[in-house]
Every structure is written in structure tokens, then in C-alpha cells.
Chain A
Amino acid sequence: MTLLTTVFAAIICTVIWYKNAPKNEMKVGILCWMYWGASLMWLVDAVFEYAELGAEYFTPAPVDMLNDFFLGLSAVALGLVVWLAILLVKDPRGVVRTALFKKN
């Protein structure tokens, strides 16, 4: 479930990036790399787990599934927080700088 959640997040981010390319003002590319990297790593984890459990891997207990989904959503949220921090620090549109140094 964690893998599935991250893969969906990666796909959505890639679609958003493609729609706005070549402009990269919002730095969505960072999110794409982060989610794809995590998805690949969790894929390896899933393969090893499948090798250990066999078909049982595809029939998890509802509580485990819910916990994994919760973890996946939290990972996606953490990725978004990191992206937002990078966006505000790099400030490609100069919005933060303008707001901070604006004279009233």
C-alpha cells in the first residue's frame, strides 16, 4: 500500500511537471525525483517481501493495509513539506523576497 501510494503520487507529479514543461517555476521536478526514487526502493522491498511470503503478500490483513496506507500518505505529505521548503528557500518567482522587503 505504501508503494502504491507513492507510485500514484509520482505519476501525478510527473503529469503536472509534463503539463508545465519546459517551465519549472514551481520546481515540481524535485517531487518527481523524490517520489520515483522512493517508489523504486519500495518496489525492491516489495519484491523481497513477495519472495518471502509468496501469494500471501497480496492478501494483507485490513489493519496492516490501513497502517501501510497511512504510512504512504504520511510519506507523501513529508515529501510535499520538503518540496515546499525548497520552493520557499529558492524562491524562483521572487515572491518571498518581494513580500519580505516590501515597504508599506
Chain B
Amino acid sequence: MACFIVPVAEAVVTTAITKVVKSKETKLEALKVETGKESFETEIKIPFSRKLKWLNNMLWGGSFLLAFEHVWHGEVVPWFPFLTAASDPAEASVMLSETATVGVSMAALVTAVWGVMLLVTKAMEKKALKHSPLQIREGCI
């Protein structure tokens, strides 16, 4: 009924976090250039803001298509209160419980898959460091 609202809310939060993380990353980079202490490991690592962008794209994209499905089924309308279930108190309570169960599970699954992706990329980064450190070091310099 309105389960896409939870992933949308999470997407808003993660997008804001991404902006903050990205601004901090550029500041750090500028600092490194000044001091000349740029480490080899930070060069090869994928910035966390980029990883957060993967989550943002999944959440925004998924909830956009899910919202379309709700429009298709007449559960979302372009006039107030926008959710057809919200106009009836009995239906509203069903909608809220569905949002709390299905919606939260959707957001949790997407976040869990992203978490697994983080672990896999971390392992790949470590492997890359282990196997060809010299080549990568030369590339960075």
C-alpha cells in the first residue's frame, strides 16, 4: 500500500550522508597533497562516498519503480492525501502495519545486499594490494 515510503526515507538519509562524506573526502585529499603524506592504501581504495552511491541508486531506483507499481494499482493518487488508504482509518492502520513489515524488510534487504557488496569489494581491494603492490605503487606515483 505504501511500502516504498520506507526505502525512500532511507534514500533521503543516505543521500545526505553521501554528500557529507564526499565533502570530507575532498578535504582530506587536499590535506594529503599539502603534507605529501599520501599513502598507497588510500590511493587504491574505492572512496566510501562512491560505495554509498551504489546504495542510493538501488534505493532511489527501486522505490521509484515500486511507486509506479502503486500508481498502477491505484494506491497512490496525484491528489491529497496521495495514498488512497490514508482516507479511511481502517485501511490506514493496515497500510501502516504493511509499511512497518514489508517496507522495513525491503529497506533492510537492500541495505544487507549492499553490505555484502562492501565486504566483497573490501576483499577484492585487499587481494589487489597483496598480488601486485609494486605495479600499483608505480601507477600511483
Contact B102 A48 (CB under 8 A): yes
Of the residues B54, B63, B69, B110, contact of A71 by C-beta under 8 Å? B69
Known: A37-B110, A48-B101, A74-B72. Is A42-B66 also a contact (CB below 8 A)? yes
CB under 8 Å from chain A, chain B span 108-127: 109-110, 113
Of the residues A2, A38, A71, A74, contact of B61 by C-beta under 8 Å? A38
> Across the two chains, which residue of chain A brings its CB closest to B7?
A41
Size bin of chain B's contact surface = 20 to 34
Chain B residues whose C-beta falls within 8 Å of the C-beta of A39 in the assembled complex = 62
> Across the two chains, which residue of chain A brings its CB closest to B62?
A37
Instruction: Give complex CA distance A82, B9 in Å.
Output: 21
Instruction: Give complex CA distance A39, B61 in Å.
Output: 10
Binding site for A on B (CB under 8 A): 3-4, 7, 54, 57-66, 68-69, 72, 101-102, 105-106, 109-110, 113
27 contacts between A and B (CB under 8 A): A6-B65, A33-B61, A34-B65, A35-B65, A36-B58, A37-B7, A37-B57, A37-B59, A37-B63, A38-B61, A38-B65, A39-B62, A40-B58, A40-B109, A41-B4, A41-B62, A41-B65, A41-B106, A41-B110, A45-B3, A45-B106, A47-B105, A74-B68, A75-B65, A75-B68, A78-B65, A79-B61
- Known pairs A36-B62, A75-B68; list 15 more (Cβ under 8 Å): A34-B60, A36-B113, A37-B57, A37-B59, A37-B62, A37-B63, A37-B65, A40-B62, A40-B109, A44-B109, A45-B106, A48-B102, A71-B69, A74-B72, A78-B68
